[in-house]
Amino acid sequence: MSKHDTIVAADVLVTSPGRNFVTLKITTGEGLVGWGDATLNGRELAVASYLRDHVAPLLVGRDPARIEDTWQYLYRGVYWRRGPVTMTAIGAVDLALWDIKGKTTGQPVYQLLGGAVRDRVLTYTHATGWDVPQLLDSVDTQRERGFLAVRAQMGVPGLDTVYGVTREAAGYEPAGRGTAPAEEVWDTAAYLRHAPGALAAVRDHVGPDLHLLHDSHHRLTPNEAARLGRALEDVDLFWLEDVTPAENQEVLRHVRRHTTTPLAIGEVFNTVWECQSLITEQLIDYVRTCVTHAGGISSLRRIAALADVWQVRLGPHGPSDVSPVALAASLHVGLATPNFAIQEYMGYEPLVHEVFRHDWSYADGYLSTGDSPGLGVDVDEDLAARFPYERAYLPVARRRDGSMTDW
Ligand code: KDG
Ligand code: MG
């Protein structure tokens, strides 16, 4: 192999094997291929265009080994910094280049990050039930699958739909296909009346050992969040997620003053700078930034390093809307990063595992990567091509008076 390989192509695949995924494929002159995930739920084509129209032409001719320089080039060089579309595109490039570096050296990516600091990565999955008996059944199903940590979401009496919950207690897909978003009606007071009792019932049912998590999905005011955190103290949550909208981080001080329920935030953050004050002021316990949406492995490691100083740990986003390529990358970071606490794993439909063949696996509550060079994921491009993009949107939520609220 020559000393400096060169990027000869950067192609974007958009496929919808049950849901939309955007994938970046970088090819080098030596014939190596690196894969990156560029999926931004409900805004997929914006990232596809950003990559195809603006980034791919800049990558051709570059040295794939210069991962950090390429990150800086795409971040600083663009002038228009940050934002989910830009950072997801940079994240995809970063993942693909780490994949190539692994293949160049014959090493799995976690080895290039310093080697394993743990044998496997603790994971949590989702349990949902419209009413408490259904929720308990769903939690039991996940316990039977070996999960040691479960996120519990429940319906709310008086509402027809609730984010992340189906009446059949089946899995849910956050984005619905169609020409416009579904509209849901939300009532915070009804949720706050119901959620503490439902979560206490789950704790009574499972006993003290199971890690329980809950996601409020950005819908509370600071005072409502403080009250909910206090009401849940005895439930002993692993974390309470996204209590308030992500923009105004100062409000977390009020929540912190009133509860020791651990807080997790950050699935919609895109850079270390958005995490900065939450970490350095210890306003959260877990940072949820996703390897795809926060600029890739290089960027997630920077967030982890800052968080480590303040004893904040990582619990990255891992819903069905980031692809198995992203999950692989997150696990390589998880294996090699001391303050990585837990990885969300919502799981995928069987077809997704066929399109994205991967060497990571789930067993007994933990996720493990294999030892294939790079990220350990290969994409079946022929199969992917059989499932073209289908327009899909996350739902929107309105209060009972019809005004929009946070989703
Ligand atoms: O695309 C949005 C979903 O990824 C998000 O709603 C899922 O909140 C979520 C979670 O914690 O997985
Ligand atoms: Mg969430």
**For 66-103, how does the pLDDT look when each residue is reduced to its tens digit (9 = 90+)?**
999 999 999 999 999 999 999 999 999 999 999 999 99
| Both tokens assigned to 147 | 């999960």
Query: In whole angstroms, what is the distance from residue 231 CA to residue 223 CA?
Result: 12
Answer for the pair 3, 30: CB distance below 8 angstroms, yes or no: no
pLDDT band, very low/low/confident/very high, at 174 (cuts 50, 70, 90): confident
Residue by residue, DSSP assigns 187-236 as -HHHHHHHHHHHHHHHHHHH-SSSEEEEE-TT---HHHHHHHHHHTGGGT
Query: In whole angstroms, what is the distance from residue 292 CA to residue 298 CA?
Result: 11
Per CATH, is 112-373 categorized as 3.20.20.120?
A: yes
> What distance in angstroms lies between residue 354's CA and the mean position of ligand 2's atoms?
26
Q: Residue 203, class by beta-carbon neighbours within 10 Å (0-12 exposed, 13-18 middle, 19+ buried)?
A: middle
Ligand 1 atom 12 nearest Cα: 319
Fold agreement between 3-108 and 112-373 = no
Q: What is the mean pLDDT of residues 214-237?
A: 97
Answer for the pair 116, 142: CB distance below 8 angstroms, yes or no: no
Catalytic residue check, 75: no
Single-letter amino acid, residue 55: V
pLDDT for 305 = 98
pLDDT for 169 = 60
Average pLDDT, the chain: 96
Question: Is the pLDDT at 171 greater than 80, yes or no?
Answer: no
Could you identify the residue written with the tokens 């923009």?
Answer: 247
Ligand 1 atom 6 nearest Cα: 174
**What percent of the chain shows pLDDT beyond 70?**
99
pLDDT for 5 = 96
* Residues 17-67 pLDDT 10s: 999 999 999 999 999 999 999 999 999 999 999 999 999 999 999 999 999
14 strand-pairing partners: 22
* Residues 329-379 pLDDT 10s: 999 999 999 999 999 999 999 999 999 999 999 999 999 999 999 999 999
Q: Which of 267, 343, 344 to mutate to test the pocket of ligand 1 (most atoms within 8 A of CB)?
A: 267
Q: Are strands 33-37 and 21-28 parallel, antiparallel or unpaired?
A: antiparallel
pLDDT for 161 = 87
Catalytic residue check, 50: no
Question: Is the pLDDT at 167 greater than 90, yes or no?
Answer: no
Query: In whole angstroms, what is the distance from residue 294 CA to residue 272 CA?
Result: 8
Query: In whole angstroms, what is the distance from residue 250 CA to residue 180 CA?
Result: 34
Q: Of all atoms in ligand 1, which is nearest to the CA of residue 126?
A: 12
Ligand 1 atom 2 nearest Cα: 174
Could you identify the residue written with the tokens 């199969």?
Answer: 383
pLDDT for 249 = 93
Q: Which of 321, 323, 342 to mutate to test the pocket of ligand 1 (most atoms within 8 A of CB)?
A: 321
Answer for the pair 26, 100: CB distance below 8 angstroms, yes or no: yes
Domain spanning 3-108: CATH superfamily: Enolase-like, N-terminal domain (3.30.390.10)
pLDDT band, very low/low/confident/very high, at 246 (cuts 50, 70, 90): confident
228: Cβ contacts below 8 Å, ≥ 6 apart: 192, 195, 196, 216, 220, 240, 243
pLDDT for 175 = 80
> What distance in angstroms lies between residue 9's CA and the mean position of ligand 2's atoms?
35
| From 163, 286, 348, 366, active-site residue | 163
| Both tokens assigned to 37 | 């995930």
pLDDT for 170 = 65
pLDDT band, very low/low/confident/very high, at 172 (cuts 50, 70, 90): confident
| Both tokens assigned to 370 | 């294999």
Q: CB within 6 Å of ligand 1 — which residues?
A: 41, 174, 215, 217, 267, 317, 319, 321, 344, 394
* Residues 248-258 pLDDT 10s: 999 999 999 99
Domain boundaries, the chain: 3-108, 112-373
In which element (H, E) is residue 129 found? strand 121-129
Query: In whole angstroms, what is the distance from residue 9 CA to residue 25 CA?
Result: 8
Q: What is the mean pLDDT of residues 195-205?
A: 98
State the DSSP code for 157. Answer: T
pLDDT for 32 = 98
Q: Are strands 392-393 and 176-177 parallel, antiparallel or unpaired?
A: antiparallel
Kindly report the backbone phi and psi dihedral angles of residue 360, in degrees, each rounded to the nearest multiple of 5, phi listed first: -80, 155
Q: Of all atoms in ligand 1, which is nearest to the CA of residue 344?
A: 12
Question: Is the pLDDT at 401 greater than 60, yes or no?
Answer: yes
Q: What torsion do the CA atoms of 360, 298, 323, 29 make, to the nearest 10 degrees?
A: -90
In which element (H, E) is residue 135 found? helix 132-144
> What distance in angstroms lies between residue 27's CA and the mean position of ligand 2's atoms?
34
